Amino acid sequence: MKKNIELTPDIETLFGTRDENLHVLEDGLNINIDLRSNRIELEGAPRDVARAEQLFADYEHLRRTGHQFLNGDLGSMLRVVVGDPNVTLRGLAEAGRQRSFGRRTVQPKSPNQRRYLEAIEQHDMVFAVGPAGTGKTYLAVAMAISALLNKQVNRIILARPAVEAGERLGFLPGTLQEKIDPYLRPLYDALFDMLEPERVERYLEKNIIEIAPIAFMRGRTLNDSFVILDEAQNTTSEQMKMFVTRLGFNSKAVITGDVTQIDLPNARRSGLIEAVDILQGVNGLAFVHFDESDVVRHHLVQRIIRAYDEHKTRLAEQQLSLLEPKSGVPQAQTKTASIDKSSGVEVNVPPRSSSLSAPAEEPHVRN
């Protein structure tokens, strides 16, 4: 099927640098896009061409209503749209417009990120598990700020287990807050990226935003709060159970972690892994799993994560091959025991030889 679309002013913005966005559409929708002097030709299956035509129409509508795509958001949104047939460009852009993230515009850059944001909106507790760079913490902080600015909650509580990742920080100087700040720096980075520094400092002084180690959560009931537990793979079983039972009325909780980067001593089982196993069937919870395709950092990060995963798979296969019995190796012969009916004593009878010409041995009687 072929379809022609008329060229409109500024539509070249949709094409992207070196037509990279058109390549995303061609690969994702399995169509051919041919640029002519006065039109765009679409060719492919009727359903795929119809989706592409709808996408061009959505872009034209958004452009006319004054929507601006910043920082490569358009390319990321197109990847989400082609990855999920139930998502439209217009719906995705307008959903992002409804959320207030302070001075930043936050758009999901993969289908899993979109499902993550929707899960946070629709559920009171969400577990996000995946490798580094997939936006787990950043998007959770963005949703927390959105809830605070829209007066859906009264405060934000950001928690992290204070576990050393192989480095010994020793007896740090300063107040208690200054001692734990190194562990919580990624949370500060996300806050300062979305809000003005003066506003963050004011919220911290008034405890509207509270940042603390998970140990400080014990015994508390967190009402009207948006609570985020970051680096949850480093919680123990007891810590995780304590945290997930802190949730009060009109509150949300987001638990994020990467199970491939566990820093717990003595190989203790991660509370995050156990919680995902135990709570999988609990109604009202949501679980979102990310992989290397969701990484939004430097493109090398995706390749590095993939290389580590492949290395882990090879090691597992090697260990499995070492455990398997090798062919051609004779197994040890075992003796059988029987009872001499006449004497009532145990008699060890050697295994019968496979050779018919081999002489039979006399049984050895153990007195």
Overall average pLDDT of the 342-364 stretch = 48
Task: Give the contacts of 105 (CB within 8 A, at least 6 positions apart).
Answer: 70, 71, 73, 96
Task: Give the contacts of 69 (CB within 8 A, at least 6 positions apart).
Answer: 13, 77
Beta-ladder partners of 337? 348
> What is the pLDDT at residue 163?
64
Which amino acid, residue 269? R
Q: DSSP strand E in the chain: where?
A: 2-6, 32-35, 39-43, 125-129, 155-160, 209-213, 225-229, 252-257, 285-289, 336-339, 346-349, 364-365
Rank 38-42, 172-176, 225-229 by mean pLDDT and report only the highest. 225-229
Number of neighbouring beta carbons within 10 Å of residue 365: 11
Overall average pLDDT of the 191-219 stretch = 88
Confidence of residue 356 (pLDDT cuts 50, 70, 90): very low
Helix pair 111-122, 73-83: axis angle to 10 deg: 80
Rank 74-88, 123-137, 175-189, 314-328 by mean pLDDT and report only the highest. 123-137
Task: Measure the CA–CA gap between 52 and 110, rounded to whole angstroms.
Answer: 18
Q: Answer positive or negative: Cα dihedral of 127, 132, 133, 138.
A: positive
Confidence of residue 343 (pLDDT cuts 50, 70, 90): very low
Write the CA distances from 58 to 150, 213, 251, 274, integer angstroms.
27, 45, 35, 44
> What is the pLDDT at residue 190?
86
Q: Does an H or E element contain 242, and which?
A: helix 237-244
CB contact at 8 A, 244 and 126: no
CB contact at 8 A, 51 and 29: yes
> What is the pLDDT at residue 326?
58
Task: Measure the CA–CA gap between 261 and 163, rounded to whole angstroms.
Answer: 12
Task: Measure the CA–CA gap between 163 and 59, rounded to whole angstroms.
Answer: 47
Residue 3 has pLDDT above 90, yes or no: no
Structure-model confidence comparison of residues 141 and 291, the more confident one: 141
CB contact at 8 A, 29 and 48: yes
> What is the pLDDT at residue 309?
77
- Mind listing the pLDDT tens digit for each residue in 30-70? 888 888 878 888 888 989 889 888 988 888 888 888 877 76
Overall average pLDDT of the 261-278 stretch = 83
- Mind listing the pLDDT tens digit for each residue in 245-259? 999 999 999 999 998
> What is the pLDDT at residue 187?
83
> What is the pLDDT at residue 104?
72
- Mind listing the pLDDT tens digit for each residue in 149-161? 989 999 999 998 8
- Least confident range of 93-102, 162-171, 266-275: 162-171
Q: Supply 77's token pair.
A: 């949104």
Task: Measure the CA–CA gap between 332 and 324, rounded to whole angstroms.
Answer: 16
Residue 134 has pLDDT above 50, yes or no: yes
Residue 327 has pLDDT above 50, yes or no: yes
Structure-model confidence comparison of residues 79 and 355, the more confident one: 79
Write the CA distances from 71 to 80, 106, 235, 254, 276, integer angstroms.
16, 10, 35, 26, 35
Task: Measure the CA–CA gap between 107 and 69, rounded to whole angstroms.
Answer: 10
Overall average pLDDT of the 74-78 stretch = 81
> What does the DSSP 8-state code read for residue 265?
G
> What is the pLDDT at residue 188?
85
